[in-house]
Structure 1
Amino acid sequence: MRREQPIFTTRAHVFQIDPGTKKNWVPASKQAVTVSYFYDVTRSSYRVISVDGAKVIINSTITPNMTFTKTSQKFGQWADSRANTVFGLGFSSEQQLTKFAEKFQEVKEAARVARDKTQEKIESSSSHSQASSVNGTDDEKASHAGVADTHLHLKSENDKLKVALTQSAANVKKWEVELQSLRESNARLAAALQEAAASAEQWRRRFCSGRDNSARLRSKVDALEEQCSEINREKEKNIQLEKRIEELESELREKETELKDLRKQSEIIPQLVSECEYVSEKLEAAERENQTLEDKVQALRSDMEESRFRQHHLKGELRSFLDVLDGRLDDLHDLRRGLSELGADH
């Protein structure tokens, strides 16, 4: 069974007063270390011990005349005349400082009680020694032998304490490594969570942008569909114009046939001047009408060419827009697939 056992443990930054100035604090540890109260069952004494790696930075035996003073909400100190220094502890919270101060007061009171009991034993032992001094040198020799045995026992216990401190330092180092590993893991998890949140926000913005683009594309599709309807109406109009042109061409052929007949009649009956003049006038009228019809046919052909050119141009714009629409639809499919994969990862 171990003679000295921990009764309270906390973590704090350890400082010692500067031996030169007696004013400034000098850090005894680079980071927060374990600080523990130990109780020595054999000696009925209490100590504050802290180890940083393999180095003992606090080894202070608590006595009844010591006082732990809070100098701020997270810092406290006490003077150790045996170590000829002043120890300071910086805690991460006021609650930890309060617990340590309360435990210091409890240990100090327990040390006072233990000292009183020890004093009573010493006085009783002194009285017994004075009474037994009359017995002669044999008792004195036995007393000296007992003191020597006590020294050997104390030396053995001190060696055990050194081994325990070394083991405690190794355990503290191991715990600090594990704590650092946990901190790094927590930092990586926090960074991963932040990155996932940023990625989700980015995907959300892209989804909203894609939704807006989809709405604009849908509006443009509706406009193009309206243009397609207009193209269809133009097609129907072109069909009607072609039919009208065919009718006019047929009428023109009939007029040409009639003109030929009239010319033949004018050649066959030259003596009928009056009729010839009449035929000539009719011919001229027919020619004028023919010219008018040709002008109409030419105008209709020009309208048909213009309609065909507009139809071709609208078909080109429609084909280009459909290509762009296909690309945007592919982007939307990729975006939806990315969102699905992101949702599955979460």
Structure 2
Amino acid sequence: SKKLETELQALMDSNARLTDTLQEANSNAESWKSKVTQSQDENNQLRNKVKKAVVLTRNAQLSLRIQELEADLQEKEQFCMLFARFTDAADVLQAAETASRDQSEKMTLLQSEIDDSQHKQKNMKTELKKFMDVLDGKIDELHEVRQGFSKLGVDN
């Protein structure tokens, strides 16, 4: 009888320790779940910031382009006024050729800027994809840890 009581007491102590361990594991799992949710929220916030940054950058580029176009328009209006003053056809032709070359150079410059912008955007997308891949890997690792905790709870 004393031996059974001792064994019963040992089993009750073991059960209490296992219960405490299970509660701690559940608490840790909840903590990890909270951290995963927080990471996902941060990920979404970062995605939104990146999108906003891209939009702001594009808006700034477009504003600059509008200013350039307005300046071009003013130049063209001035050119038209000068054109009206010219009486000699050779002068008109020479001015038109100069304007054409200028416009061609500007077009080449703008195309270069567009190509550069597209290249930068591609690099940004690549960096964002790398970041997303790393984040996905971390989320998978957290999921595996959670499964490990869950398995510990089931095995015990």
Shorter chain as denominator, the TM-score bin is 0.5 to 0.7
Aligned positions of 1:273-288 closer than 5 A: 273-288=90-105
The residue number in structure 2 matching 1:302 is 119
Shift of 1:333: 3.7
**Which of 191, 206, 209 is the aligned partner of 2:10?**
191
- 1:197 and 1:226 map into 2 onto residues whose CA distance is 43
The residue number in structure 2 matching 1:203 is 22
Superposed CA RMSD in Å reads 3.0
- 1:326 and 1:197 map into 2 onto residues whose CA distance is 28
Q: Relative CO higher for 1 or 2, CA cutoff 8 Å, sep ≥ 6? A: 2
Deviations 1:25-75 (A, max 9, x none): xxxxxxxxxxxxxxxxxxxxxxxxxxxxxxxxxxxxxxxxxxxxxxxxxxx
- 1:187 and 1:285 map into 2 onto residues whose CA distance is 100
Shift of 1:336: 5.5
Deviations 1:192-219 (A, max 9, x none): 1111111112222222222222222221
Shift of 1:230: 4.1
Which structure has the bigger radius of gyration? Answer: 1
The residue number in structure 2 matching 1:226 is 45
The residue number in structure 1 matching 2:68 is none
List runs of 5+ in structure 1 lacking aligned partners. 1-181, 245-271
Aligned positions of 1:251-262 closer than 5 A: none
The residue number in structure 2 matching 1:176 is none
Runs (4 or more) in structure 1 with deviation over 6 Å come to none
TM-score by structure 2 length? Answer: 0.63
The residue number in structure 2 matching 1:311 is 128
Shift of 1:280: 2.2
Aligned positions of 1:48-127 closer than 5 A: none
Shift of 1:335: 5.2
Report sequence identity in percent. Answer: 7
| Greater share of strand | 1
1:292 aligns to 2:109 (yes or no): yes
Deviations 1:238-270 (A, max 9, x none): xx79xx8xxxxxxxxxxxxxxxxxxxxxxxxxx
List runs of 5+ in structure 2 lacking aligned partners. 63-88
The residue number in structure 2 matching 1:322 is 139
- How many equivalent pairs are there? 126
8 Å contact kept, 2:36–2:142: yes
Aligned positions of 1:232-251 closer than 5 A: 233=51, 237=55
Shift of 1:281: 0.8
